[in-house]
A and B are shown apart, each in its own frame.
Chain A
């Protein structure tokens, strides 16, 4: 399955007054409630996020959220249609289970970034820790730096682009997601192999890099994907169980 990039980082929401929440005084629940009740086209700003959890989760409209600082766990989780920017680092599980829209982290992301996400675009300008894109189901993830170990574990669909290096066991037990890595891969997980970069892959990677606002020659990347040897049970392995 190939997802279509609905928008890119350069696309901006409609001009609208910005509703600001300062989390030194305002409550995270109040922020999320306002976001959930918001119509398309609205804009929100979050000041002093201070690493608080669950910022801008469950967005279900075409709206903009700017988080000005470091976010805690599960920021922008379950996003559907929102354009959420974290000007800082993100904690565990940023954009987990995203359905559509864009989440942009200008710093680093902790582990399990984009976990189980079905669609949309997650851009991390810095590094992502372990388990980036674990069980991804259609999301596109573009990481400017390195990713940690066990990334794209059991990845089912979508694309993961890594402009730096990948940690150990990349793409372990991968299904049909496609992984593009520019730098070194510490090791490949079970059933993940390097594959040929054909024209269609160069074109799709160019599109992903462009959507993430990044330069770079797609020809410098290596594609990785499933060798498809784990799809069916092999009777010779029965003694292992």
Chain B
């Protein structure tokens, strides 16, 4: 069992309230997965800046210095520009006006032990072990602005309780994936992806799903097609929420053991493991509420 709560705010006037809305949702899914948690927030101006790449690194005690990174990016940074290092809760953010791949390369060379949990221009990923509400408080979720956000509470089954094993998995620019369930053939799909040159950070089954989606998107699939293809390749139980820079998708496996419920109004679309996570959203009494059908991919764009 794990818990998922995801929210896409179509009405910009609601975006300053993203953090408080997501917090109410998160509180209701804590007992589905109390061992660790993760958050992804899109388009928060205090976390991300358009035109700059931002890496979300696991841990607050990495002692990263921007000078070390700048030395490696000397040829790439614009004249007079430097990288920036900030600590938010249990997460270290590194930003610079270079391509994400270049920034990730510099961080990997300067700090080989650092684990990148999120990347892109628009998303910040915050993951940690412990009670999900405390994880959210440490990162200051309550006051956060955002256009889209995803939260996940994990009850670990396929790999250890670590920040790295928490969801979301963000393995390509502005792409996040969260999972309730377990993939049964992740080892063979991981081998196949490695053969194709894909690199992995962990032994986690969900990372394989995220790498597979990223790989398909890179091959030219749109999000919906990538998730249809995932259904053909990955076996197991899953309810997935996948977010990109400007869209959100939900898919359940054809057996549909893992729960999901969607509510939609003109102002927002929300997905959660259970209705109780949606109960306090503004306008829920007039929302269109439905369970996503097994094996069908649902997508919404901002």
Where the two chains meet, the residues of A that have a C-beta atom closer than 8 Å to any C-beta of B are 50-53, 70, 72-73, 89, 91-92, 108, 110-111, 129-130, 148-149
Contact = CB atoms under 8 A, between A and B. Distances in A.
Contacts of A92: 259
Nearest to A50: B279
Interface of B: 28, 256, 259, 261, 274-280, 289-291, 293-294
Contacts of A111: 256, 259
Nearest to A90: B275
A51 B274 contact: yes
30 contacts: A50-B276, A50-B280, A51-B28, A51-B276, A51-B278, A51-B279, A52-B276, A53-B276, A70-B289, A72-B274, A73-B274, A89-B275, A89-B289, A91-B259, A91-B274, A91-B275, A92-B259, A108-B289, A108-B291, A110-B259, A110-B261, A110-B291, A111-B259, A129-B256, A129-B291, A130-B256, A130-B294, A148-B294, A149-B256, A149-B294
Given A110-B291, A130-B294, A148-B294, A72 B256 contact: no
- The B contact surface, by secondary structure, is loop
B275 A72 contact: yes
A70 B259 contact: no
A70 B256 contact: no
A50 B280 CA distance: 8
A148 B275 contact: no
Given A89-B289, A110-B291, A148 B279 contact: no
Nearest to A149: B294
Contacts of A89: 275, 289
Contact of A108 (B28, B279, B280, B290): B290
Contacts of B278: 51
Nearest to B252: A130
